[in-house]
A and B are shown apart, each in its own frame.
Chain A
């Protein structure tokens, strides 16, 4: 895995020195709050409903045990003993004090981490497939390129005051686990005639106007990547709207100008910028590929203990069935650790759990940990013979929940329990759905089903791409939840459709239950997933399940 070079270490130390000074200047009045705000945001510091919130980047979701332990220490020393892993492969600390933040950033820098550009109108933390470098279906590990993009975008002098935020995601697998079509730029690694390149998708995004990205270049040779990215952002920096922040994202620029006009501008700018890249980026990428070389996996070790345990222990078997993903080495597995214990806060981990995960990654997982956009933790390289012990150790820490990809593996944003922008809560809705379906004992029968919940139209909880999306709104001073159906975050990406009026807080869980019961009754066979069933039948039968036969229009709660 990549370790900070002296350059990175010096850069981050210097950046922290600047931020320490900026905090001091805010306190002494040299900086107004208006001026300080973008500076603190560029360093990941928000002001939330009840306190500041520090958002720390976990670039492309990869971290080692030492880094995970440091996150635990930070949670204990300067926060309240826990952290929240997000859909953007960040961790958020919910209770830091302004004057402590420079010390927290220094503590992060010591282990090669930072909060740079996790917020603000800049290029944000680059996200990638959380199974990168391990998945059986991968063309190539996207992380070397993601790291290159991190270095390029970090502190980019032209791009710190963009019209709005800008998010880049990359996948190295045709099975898209990075939601590339919902990002300002999505990159899909391709191989064509023995050459590595990228399909470049632009203009995706969620928020109040969700859009799926469109292909701007179907095959970009690898050598042209940085100048091409720079051309896109350069064009948008001048062309994007600055008169209305809701129309500033590149998805709106794309919508207003059309893909062909945008492409022409980008290609022209690319021609202009290309000569400025002299090749050093290529040399750096080659070195990064070595840094991300796969670990030396054990050869020839028997997996018999795994098979025996699997046959003998139904709890272990259930966990294997839901939480393991195929590793490219058949005697290894990718372990997905659920941060979605029924009734717990989706994505939260206590300091003790973080430490336990760090220990287990060292003992069984080649010191490699991942954070998924689904708010879970991944140990990407575990020998199957180690799985029974790993499972027992995880279970002891409350981390043994067997529900990856199931109805209780819910993405939920912080919502009104923490977020200043929220219009309703999301966490309690997730908790109640999870505990309800656990009580019904239906999870395994339901199979793969993605519920995603956002506490306002900003859609941080990805509800637009949930098979069942739930959006919390404020309707006349009452928390109200709107359901969308048929969203898909994968390579067959689709935006969910709103199918009717919203539900009050005490109606939303029963509504979800009716939907799921309808699905169970309607599916042709257990192998037909909720999404497949919805695609086959369309919204009508689900509308009926929600609102009754004839869909007699209930008065909208709005």
Chain B
């Protein structure tokens, strides 16, 4: 039996800034996951991936990332996507401890 399709979003990094971006339903790139189009149909997801991949002047490394629906839009299933959404853990951005 084929596995049921799990929802996805199209994501990439922006060519100019490198920042994490997501594709919206109206074909914009957004930095906010909550605005991303949640793709629940496999064929539609493949199509959106192909369309987004063609936008090579805007995005690099386009792929489908697994998500689940949440009250505030798509929510990451895997911790890697959670990090991509949130940025480095605050302690990993060096607010160097003063003194020692």
Q: Which residues of A contact B (CB under 8 A)?
A: 26-27, 29, 32-33, 47-52, 80, 82, 96-99, 338, 341-345, 348-350, 353, 395, 398-402, 416-418, 422, 425, 427-428, 431, 474, 477-479
Q: 3 tightest CB-CB pairs across the interface, nearest first?
A: A417-B92, A417-B88, A52-B18
Q: How far is the CA of A96 from the CA of B18 in the complex (A)?
A: 8
Q: How far is the CA of A425 from the CA of B56 in the complex (A)?
A: 30
- Rounded to whole Å, the gap between the CB of B61 and the closest CB of chain A is 7
Question: Known pairs A344-B94, A344-B96. 20 more at Cβ < 8 A?
Answer: A27-B16, A29-B56, A47-B61, A51-B13, A52-B17, A52-B18, A341-B97, A342-B97, A342-B100, A348-B96, A401-B100, A416-B79, A418-B92, A422-B80, A427-B88, A428-B91, A428-B92, A474-B79, A478-B79, A479-B79
List 17 A–B pairs whose Cβ atoms lie within 8 Å, in order of A's numbering: A26-B15, A47-B61, A50-B18, A50-B20, A82-B94, A338-B100, A341-B96, A341-B100, A342-B97, A345-B91, A348-B94, A348-B96, A349-B96, A395-B100, A428-B89, A431-B91, A474-B80
Q: How far is the CA of A402 from the CA of B93 in the complex (A)?
A: 22
Partner of B100, one of A47, A398, A425: A398
* Per-position 1/0 for B50-85, Cβ under 8 A of A: 000000110011000000000000000111100110
Contact call B88/A418, Cβ cutoff below 8 A: yes
Contacts of B57 on A, CB cut-off 8 Å?
27, 29
Q: How far is the CA of A248 from the CA of B69 in the complex (A)?
A: 42
B99 at the interface (CB under 8 A from A): yes
Contact call A398/B98, Cβ cutoff below 8 A: yes
Q: How far is the CA of A417 from the CA of B80 in the complex (A)?
A: 9
Contact call B56/A395, Cβ cutoff below 8 A: no
Partner of B13, one of A47, A348, A353, A477: A47
Q: Which A residue's beta carbon lies closest to that of B85?
A: A50
Contact call B89/A49, Cβ cutoff below 8 A: no
Partner of B84, one of A49, A348, A395, A477: A49
Q: Which A residue's beta carbon lies closest to that of B80?
A: A416
Partner of B56, one of A33, A342, A348: A33
Contacts of B92 on A, CB cut-off 8 Å?
345, 417-418, 425, 427-428
A48, A50, A51, A427 pick with most chain B CB within 10 angstroms: A50
Contacts of B18 on A, CB cut-off 8 Å?
47-48, 50-52, 96-98
Q: How far is the CA of A474 from the CA of B81 in the complex (A)?
A: 13
A48, A52, A338, A422 pick with most chain B CB within 10 angstroms: A52
Q: Which A residue's beta carbon lies closest to that of B84?
A: A49
Contact call A417/B83, Cβ cutoff below 8 A: yes
Contact call A33/B19, Cβ cutoff below 8 A: no
Q: How far is the CA of A47 from the CA of B92 in the complex (A)?
A: 18
Contacts of A27 on B, CB cut-off 8 Å?
15-16, 57
Contacts of A345 on B, CB cut-off 8 Å?
91-94, 96
Contacts of A47 on B, CB cut-off 8 Å?
13, 18, 60-61
Contact call B83/A98, Cβ cutoff below 8 A: no
Given contacts A29-B57, A47-B61, A416-B80, contact A99 B16 (CB under 8 A): yes
Q: Which A residue's beta carbon lies closest to that of B20?
A: A50
